[in-house]
Structure 1
Amino acid sequence: MASTVTQEPSKDSSASSRPGYGQLLRTRGAWTFLLPGFAARQPFAMLTLSIVLLVQHTTGSYGAAGAVAAVTGVSMALFAPYSGRLADRYGQRAVLVPGVLVHALSGLTLTGLALAHAPLWALFVAAVPTGASVPQVGPMVRARWGVRLQDSPLMSTAAAFESVTDELTFVVGPLLATALCTAVDPAAGLVTEAALTLLGGLLFAAQKSTQPSVAAGGHARVEHASALRVPGVRVLIVAFLGIGSVFGGMQVSLAAFTESIGEPGLNGVLYGTFAAGNMLSGVACGAIAWKVAPQRRLLVGYAALALAASGLWAAHSVLVLAGLGLLVGMCIAPALITGYTLVEGLVPAGARTEAFTWLTGAVALGQAAAVTVAGQLEDRLWGGAGFLVPMAGTLLALATLVALRSRLATRPRGRTVARGVGHRMPVAVD
């Protein structure tokens, strides 16, 4: 596969000098998993916000809403890596099909209990399988890119493209969840999320020809029992926990802010602005021929993220908050993209789905903790106190990155031509 990717551009000098998004999307078989993959990952951006809006409506408390959403996030964070390991070992389809069925049923159960004003402990019980069964479509798509591209310089472009795709879902998802919960019914967001997960997940699972081979996963089980044993992966998990604190803290705090000014419908717009900044910077990251080592890019990008997140608590108007949210979003994408790119050099191919799910799970866990803490701060302290959570989370993660940066050194490869070309060749958007 690697020889095919590196030889084909020689037929067209312009293509070889521009390994951008156009060339990436012409990769054989890419669209067969990209389209259903986009549909399947869309509900992920709706889940936490839909739970927060529904439970806050039925209980009147952002603290209770944040706690239920947090249980979902913690459950997902704990189970996602095992889902990734099972996908490496038995195939993605074998994990996805039962997973989406359980998720749809659990999500509908949680909705029914909330509408019936069930006690909080019952909502917690329903939230556990809802989070545990969230389909890990993003990591699975990234693993499929790895099979298609291997050591191609297009891998960094693919990482950027996936970040852009993730953030596009976080532009559409919150807007859709807010519109459904405020204009249709408080339960409409969670019901729609369950339905989309079921439909999109089954369509993605049907694309058997592009999934990584089961044999490769079994081989990886012998060579590399768990991606978590790689020190660099553990450092990246801390970084992604900090990123999750931004997502969770902003979801609750923006909802509380727009509620306090009597404009709850602006919540989706403000969060969508934040996600749009993330998406736009993701596009730019994939269009740049980086000459700086990824470890250094991660440190610089994360420092910028921590600085931007530290100003959120001081914003008291919609315009200022929108501007700061856009800036924070623009700082997140470089950190996410660089983190996922580092996985390619840190982890053997057969364990990458698991590695990606550890990072995705870390975002969910950070988001869950942030939702809980931010909800309590909004209930107990002043309006906007929840914005302290993204600041604290990113600053702590940055300190860890600086202290343990040597562990992010990538594994030596048998050949370095592809990586060197990746640094030299200009990358453009077609």
Structure 2
Amino acid sequence: MPSATYRTLLRTPGAAAFFLTATVARTGIAMSSLGIIWLVHGRTGSYAVAGLVTGAFAVAEAVVGPQLARLFDRFSQTRVLPLILLAHATAVGTLLAPVENDNPHWLMTVAGALAGATIPQLGALSAARWSALLSGDRAASLPTAFALESLANGLCYLTGPALVTAVGSSSDPAYGMVLATALVVGGGLAFAAQRRTAPATSGAAERKHAGRSLLRPGFAVLVGVNLTLGVYFGAMQVSVTAFAVELGAPDTAAPLYAVSNCASLLAGWLYGLRRWRATPQRQLALVTTGLTLSTLPLLVADSVPTLAAALAVTGLTIPPILVLSSTLTTTSVHRAALTQAFAWLASASAAGSAGAAALSGRAVDAHGAHAGFAIAAAATAAMAVLAVAHARAGTRGSTPGLYLKSS
């Protein structure tokens, strides 16, 4: 069944402007963590200190992100975002100062946390704009819009790290962090300037009702799906690298990641070009089950080609999961809390990835790379259980109401 095309979506008045500016800012966001590693390691010579500062950045971003999203929902994106961007630029300056002046490591860590706490969730803001722009009769085009968002995010996380690595390795590492911040602030300000596509704010009574919708079981399942997806990502990051090292071919780790990423980009592009007959709940159950089955070859892979083939198959399932999570969020959460909801999904994924990276590292040290793959497989199995239960609840008629259509 044909769906809206990416071209027709971007021809919607105001859509191309906010989408492209958000993509610029997200490229900077994708550069930030690695930029901190290059910066801190280049000045201290310690990966441990660089990891500590980057970890503080990631934890602060995951914890504070949903709270910032609440401000966006309450006071509007156009009013709050410039202030957040100013705070982020100041925080990065605060990070550069102690690193350049060789201040104590704890001060660098605090500065890293401030930078993470003030980085805006441009993905959540852009998704909220699509939801507002395509509400009502155009709601059927939302999956295509979220597929477009998934493509943009994938491209940002392919080009951003490569760009900051090129800058950090060929010149002063501080330049990479400065470039990342310039993209975040410049793209973010241009995004905030697109006023006509910004979602309207709601009254106090509506916001109170909206906050309760974040506690609904349907949305809790989606948070769980993204949490387990983050566990999968974190476990795979450690395990693929460990697998390549165990085979005596560490240089193959980067091509292996590229295989998975390219498969994901292809799947995301193709998924958004179709309008599927099955309900989103049923699609999510099928795709997560498919991901679980596709992780089983990882447990017995014994060569780079077999692992590459398995990673390509698993990569095909990731974009539909992300798109369906966003689509179901718009029908599970009140429109006045959508930015918060999207931010909670991102935070859940980040928390799962951080925890899994530590757990998988210990498992790989003790039992080898396949132990890390087993953690990833277990996470996908838990994800499938949640998705199947969600689909069954929808079949029984307990799926949350369609807030976007009823508001």
TM-score range, shorter chain: 0.7 to 0.9
Quote the offset at 1:178 in angstroms.
3.7
1:342 aligned to 2:322? no
Q: Which amino acid aligns with 1:45?
A: A
Quote the offset at 1:90 in angstroms.
0.1
Which residue of structure 2 lines up, in the alignment, with residue 235 of structure 1?
A: 221
Which residue of structure 1 lines up, in the alignment, with residue 118 of structure 2?
A: 133
Which residue of structure 2 lines up, in the alignment, with residue 324 of structure 1?
A: 310
Q: 1:317 to 1:225 in 2, by over 3 A?
A: same
What secondary structure sits across from 2:211 in the alignment? coil
Distance in structure 1 (CA, Å) of the matches to 2:314 and 2:164: 22
Would you say the 8 A contact 2:242–2:368 is kept in 1?
no
**TM-superposition CA deviations, 1:178-210 (whole Å, max 9, x none):** 434445465554443222212211221121221
The 5 Å alignment of 1:109-120 reads 109-110=94-95
User: What percentage of aligned pairs have identical amino acids?
Assistant: 35
Which residue of structure 1 lines up, in the alignment, with residue 197 of structure 2?
A: 210
Q: Which amino acid aligns with 1:411?
A: P
Which residue of structure 2 lines up, in the alignment, with residue 168 of structure 1?
A: 155
**Bigger CA drift: 356-365 or 303-312?**
303-312
Distance in structure 2 (CA, Å) of the matches to 1:358 and 1:415: 19
Q: 1:102 to 1:295 in 2, by over 3 A?
A: same
Would you say the 8 A contact 1:37–1:141 is kept in 2?
yes
Would you say the 8 A contact 1:175–1:272 is kept in 2?
no
Would you say the 8 A contact 2:54–2:112 is kept in 1?
yes
Q: Which amino acid aligns with 1:72?
A: F
Distance in structure 2 (CA, Å) of the matches to 1:406 and 1:396: 16
Distance in structure 1 (CA, Å) of the matches to 2:365 and 2:103: 21
Which residue of structure 2 lines up, in the alignment, with residue 279 of structure 1?
A: 265
Quote the offset at 1:121 in angstroms.
4.1
Would you say the 8 A contact 1:70–1:369 is kept in 2?
no
What secondary structure sits across from 2:214 in the alignment? helix
1:28 aligned to 2:17? no
Quote the offset at 1:288 in angstroms.
2.0
- How many residues align? The count is 400
1:220 aligned to 2:206? yes
Q: 1:103 to 1:321 in 2, by over 3 A?
A: farther
**TM-superposition CA deviations, 1:372-394 (whole Å, max 9, x none):** 33455566764676555433432
Q: 1:245 aligns with which of 206, 211, 231?
A: 231
Distance in structure 2 (CA, Å) of the matches to 1:56 and 1:382: 28
Q: Which amino acid aligns with 1:338?
A: L
The 5 Å alignment of 1:167-206 reads 167-184=154-171, 189-206=176-193
Q: Which amino acid aligns with 1:343?
A: T
Q: Which amino acid aligns with 1:73?
A: A
Q: 1:51 to 1:366 in 2, by over 3 A?
A: farther
Flag structure 2 segments of 5+ consecutive residues without an equivalent. none
Which residue of structure 2 lines up, in the alignment, with residue 424 of structure 1?
A: none
**TM-superposition CA deviations, 1:222-269 (whole Å, max 9, x none):** 432244222211110110012222333344555666788898886655
Distance in structure 1 (CA, Å) of the matches to 2:63 and 2:344: 9
Distance in structure 2 (CA, Å) of the matches to 1:374 and 1:186: 29
Quote the offset at 1:26 in angstroms.
1.9
Instruction: Return the TM-score normalized by structure 2.
Output: 0.83
Distance in structure 2 (CA, Å) of the matches to 1:379 and 1:52: 23
Instruction: Return the TM-score normalized by structure 1.
Output: 0.79
Distance in structure 1 (CA, Å) of the matches to 2:253 and 2:103: 27
Q: 1:322 to 1:97 in 2, by over 3 A?
A: farther
Would you say the 8 A contact 1:66–1:375 is kept in 2?
no
**Bigger CA drift: 338-347 or 219-228?**
219-228
CA RMSD of aligned residues (A): 3.6
What secondary structure sits across from 2:13 in the alignment? coil
Which residue of structure 2 lines up, in the alignment, with residue 411 of structure 1?
A: 400
Q: 1:185 to 1:297 in 2, by over 3 A?
A: farther
**TM-superposition CA deviations, 1:311-358 (whole Å, max 9, x none):** 446556554444433332211111111111111211222221111111
Distance in structure 2 (CA, Å) of the matches to 1:254 and 1:60: 24
Distance in structure 2 (CA, Å) of the matches to 1:254 and 1:184: 30
**Bigger CA drift: 369-378 or 258-267?**
258-267
**Bigger CA drift: 33-42 or 91-100?**
91-100
**Bigger CA drift: 397-406 or 148-157?**
397-406
Would you say the 8 A contact 2:334–2:403 is kept in 1?
no
What secondary structure sits across from 1:247 in the alignment? helix
Which residue of structure 2 lines up, in the alignment, with residue 80 of structure 1?
A: 65
Would you say the 8 A contact 2:335–2:404 is kept in 1?
no
Quote the offset at 1:56 in angstroms.
6.7
Would you say the 8 A contact 2:31–2:161 is kept in 1?
yes
Q: 1:393 to 1:131 in 2, by over 3 A?
A: farther
Q: 1:369 aligns with which of 343, 352, 355?
A: 355
Q: 1:254 to 1:197 in 2, by over 3 A?
A: farther
The 5 Å alignment of 1:292-307 reads 292-307=278-293
